[in-house]
Amino acid sequence: MERYTHNVGENMISYTDQGVGHCVVLIHGFCGDSHYWKYIVPHLVKKNRVLTVDLRGHGDSSTPKNDFEITDFADDISSLLTSLRIERATLIGHSLGGYISLAFAEKYPDKLCGLSLVHSTALPDTTEAKENRENGIQKITKNGIKPFIDELVPNLFSMTNREELEYQVKLVKNIGYGTSEFGAIGALNAMKNRPNRNEVLQDLIVPILLVAGSDDEIIPQERTFSVENDNMHQAVIENSGHMSMLEQPDKLVEVLQSFLEGVIDSKME
């Protein structure tokens, strides 16, 4: 798969660009990269132009020298779309990628055709979650990224899948090891500081898809399904934790393809 780069100020964003048609941007989660979507892209590119992006401080993208917020990630996506002369796109964001997608929707609504949050939430961190972010920062600062990833990754999978999907768990660990320490710390701070965007989700007029895992221990269903409106669809991926794109890719593909067909139909109205 050929990779490309786009410069945003002093930062370099690595991405892939495949297929033709309606543009779909896949945005990975914390300590991930575009390989999270390896089982999803081959299906979506049959009818769509699909971009996968390595977030700043993750994967093959560069790490900023200064602190950053969730909105800065969204600015990177907007800059990339502008450089490719893509006027509007559907954003599909996993976990951290969902926070970024919502920030994008808030700041660049005219560039949005549709929005999907996959194992994500519009709500801010709870007090406990903020404490966990701080603990994560201290662990990475003291011991580096590898032991942090070794502790984090198994909990992303359901209890059953973390034992049965040995290859996928190892894949996510190896991807996580490639995250820069400052990139991980910066993302933890950005997630901890993000505002409540529930009203943004509530007020969006584009098609919306909210996806939760039946066994997700990171973001439970009630935090994903925080609002309801007429243009919103909800889906629960059974037998999946926080990583349905790797735990139950066929089920997630089915849900995403159906959603994207609806987005394309709404553009034609």
For residue range 139-149, what is the model confidence (pLDDT) as tens digits? 999 999 999 99
Residue 261 is predicted with a pLDDT of: 94
- Looking at residue 264, its pLDDT comes to 85
pLDDT tens for residues 234-267?
Answer: 999 999 999 999 999 999 999 999 999 999 877 7
3-state SS track over the chain: CCCEEEEECCEEEEEEEECCCEEEEEECCCCCCHHHHCCCHHHHCCCEEEEEEECCCCCCCCCCCCCCCHHHHHHHHHHHHHHCCCCCEEEEEECHHHHHHHHHHHHCHHHEEEEEEECCCCCCCCHHHHHHHHHHHHHHHHHCHHHHHHHHHHHHCCCCHHHHCHHHHHHHHHHHHCCCHHHHHHHHHHHHHCCCCHHHHHHCCCCEEEEEECCCCCCCHHHHCCCCCCCEEEEEECCCCCCHHHHCHHHHHHHHHHHHHHHHHHHHC
pLDDT at 162: 94
pLDDT in the model for residue 269:
58
Whole-structure pTM value: 0.97
Average pLDDT in the 91-116 region? 98
The string of pLDDT tens digits covering residues 109-131 is: 999 999 999 999 999 999 999 99
pLDDT the model gives residue 153: 98
Contact between 263 and 230 (Cβ < 8 Å): no
Report the pLDDT value the prediction gives residue 49, as an integer from 0 to 100.
Answer: 98
Q: What is the pLDDT of residue 265?
A: 76
> Which sign does the torsion angle of CA 76, 132, 243, 197 carry?
negative
Q: Tell me the per-residue pLDDT of 16-41, one tens digit each, with 9 for 90 and over.
A: 999 999 999 999 999 999 999 999 99
pLDDT value of position 57: 97
- 47-55: average pLDDT: 98
Task: Calculate mean pLDDT across residues 54-82.
Answer: 97
**Calpha distance 45→23 (Å, rounded):** 10
Alpha carbons 188 and 138: distance in angstroms, whole number: 11
pLDDT of residue 266: 78
Reported as a single tens digit per residue, the pLDDT across 155-214 is 999 999 999 999 999 999 999 999 999 999 999 999 999 999 999 999 999 999 999 999
- Tell me: pLDDT of 101 over 70: yes
The dihedrals phi and psi of 125, each to the nearest 5 degrees, come to: -60, 145
Beta carbons within 10 angstroms of residue 116's beta carbon:
28
Distance CA 76, CA 53 (A): 10
- Position 268 confidence tier, pLDDT thresholds 50, 70, 90: low
Q: What angle, 0 to 180 degrees and rounded to 10, lies between the N-to-C axes of helices 96-107 and 181-193? A: 60
Q: Average pLDDT, whole number, for the chain?
A: 96
- Distance of alpha carbon 116 from alpha carbon 249, whole angstroms: 16
Q: Quick one: fold of 4-268?
A: Rossmann fold (3.40.50)
Strands 48-54 and 112-118: unpaired
**pLDDT band with cut points at 50, 70 and 90 for residue 2:** confident
Where are the chain's structural domains? 4-268
